[in-house]
């Protein structure tokens, strides 16, 4: 009888194994390639961003205010000590993470986060610090940028961090929702993309350095809530995707000093159904490169340059929260020429999309039990 019970137990285990495996691995078909999406790490609380370290481990932010190292086998470190104070709530918390271009030498890490400014006020800030040699702490942490003005709210903080080819830092900033009209006011940082020096302060070459009525850090304005940004691998220009209201999510190429229209023009409507601003076009305001209506809620993007998915080379991959998908945009110069909506079978809110050093695609799922997913070709 003991042998029979052992045999039955083994049979039950083997029968259950495929079902357990199916929870962690899915085979999905796209227009050009069949892919396998597998779970690399789990039990992250609303992960927001990831970046690869030189040794191919990852730094991952969790919105409640934790930063962890994820090993190549998917195991998580304890939270890294020494982070700045994070005001977590609603859409706020610990947001983006980026490595200094000279990280291999200086081990400097940049973080964007919603910062408590006192009296219930908060705002998007950027801090930098040195990752200790053992990877357990951030040292010499300094805040190098604070969005002004502060505001008492929990929405539309942005924010993505992207270094340009000159070593300056783009920071995307939301307009805090209730203050949407301020996206047209050059006297503040609301609804703007700013470009700063690594240690803080306006970068040289910014468009409004010599205007007394404008913030010198501003690069472009008239944005709503940009949560996706990446440099074009050939041109070095910044491309972004930002949230519209009900419809009107946009892909833009934010150029120096230009006005991207929010909330005067939009391809969406307010959540109430009322019209936004003055329509879809106005002289002096830029048109999007591409827009989604209805909204997909874009968050996280990367230009694919690897060799694992040759049919996707040159495409932009954009995550979607409300859409629960990855949008693959085919581009020709400054134009989007086609879209493929992928991975809808996952049923997951996709917060970030990154290309790994191995040429595979890594995704973050926005959930209290969030995962890191890895996408690879099925063959």
Place of tokens 């609380």: 45
Distance CA 42, CA 76 (A): 9
Cis before 149 (ω within 30):
yes
Residue of 353, 61, 378 lying closest to 229 (CA atoms): 353
Contacts of 48 (CB under 8 A, 6+ apart): 61, 62, 63, 93, 94, 95, 96, 351, 352, 364, 366
For 125, the 3-state DSSP assignment is: strand
8 Å CB contact between 199 and 167:
no
Provide the token pair at 128.
């930098």
From the number of C-beta atoms within 10 Å of its C-beta (0-12, 13-18, 19+), residue 378 rates as exposed
User: Between β-strands 138-146 and 316-320, what pairing exists: parallel, antiparallel or unpaired?
Assistant: unpaired
Provide the token pair at 263.
């909330």
Residues paired with residue 246 on neighbouring β-strands, in sequence order:
269
Length of the chain in terms of residues written: 379
Instruction: Tell me if residue 156 is catalytic.
Output: yes
Distance CA 57, CA 53 (A): 5
For 67, the 3-state DSSP assignment is: strand
Contacts of 342 (CB under 8 A, 6+ apart): 28, 30, 35, 325, 326, 327, 328
Provide the token pair at 361.
């695609």
8 Å CB contact between 155 and 123:
no
Region at 297 (left for phi over 0; alpha for psi -120 to 50; beta for the rest) = left
**Catalytically active residues, by annotation:** 156
């Amino acid at each position: 009888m003991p042998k029979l019970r052992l045999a039955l137990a083994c049979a039950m285990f083997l029968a259950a194994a495929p079902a357990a495996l199916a929870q962690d691995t899915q085979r999905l078909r796209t227009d050009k390639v069949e892919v396998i999406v597998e779970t690399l790490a789990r039990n992250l609380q609303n992960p927001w961003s990831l970046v690869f370290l030189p040794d191919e481990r990852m730094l991952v932010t969790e919105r409640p205010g934790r930063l962890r190292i994820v090993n190549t086998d998917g195991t998580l470190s304890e939270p890294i000590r020494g982070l700045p104070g994070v005001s977590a709530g609603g859409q706020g918390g610990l947001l983006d993470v980026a490595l200094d271009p000279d990280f291999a030498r200086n081990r400097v890490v940049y973080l964007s986060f919603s910062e408590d400014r006192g009296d219930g006020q908060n705002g998007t800030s950027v801090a930098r610090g040195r990752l200790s040699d053992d990877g357990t702490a951030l040292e010499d942490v300094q805040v190098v940028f604070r969005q002004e003005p502060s505001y008492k709210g929990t929405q539309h903080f942005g924010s993505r961090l992207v270094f340009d080819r000159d070593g300056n830092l783009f920071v995307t900033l939301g307009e805090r929702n209730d203050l949407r009209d301020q996206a047209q006011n050059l006297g503040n940082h609301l609804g703007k993309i700013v470009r700063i020096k690594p240690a803080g302060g306006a970068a040289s070459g910014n468009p409004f350095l010599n205007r007394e009525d404008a913030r010198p850090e501003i690069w472009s304005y008239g944005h709503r809530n940009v949560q996706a940004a990446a440099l074009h691998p050939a041109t070095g220009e910044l491309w972004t995707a930002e949230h519209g209201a009900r419809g009107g999510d946009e892909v833009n190429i934010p150029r120096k000093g230009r006005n991207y229209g929010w909330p005067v023009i939009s391809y969406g409507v307010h959540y109430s159904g009322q019209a936004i601003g003055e329509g879809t076009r106005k002289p002096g305001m830029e048109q999007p490169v591409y827009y989604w209506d209805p909204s997909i809620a874009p968050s996280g993007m990367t230009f694919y340059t690897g060799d694992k998915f040759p049919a996707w080379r040159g495409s932009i991959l954009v995550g979607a929260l409300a859409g629960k998908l990855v949008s693959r945009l085919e581009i020709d110069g400054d134009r989007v020429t086609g879209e493929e909506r992928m991975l809808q079978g996952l049923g997951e809110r996709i917060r970030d999309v990154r290309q790994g050093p191995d040429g595979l695609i890594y995704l973050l799922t926005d959930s209290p039990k969030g995962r890191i997913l890895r996408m690879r070709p099925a063959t």
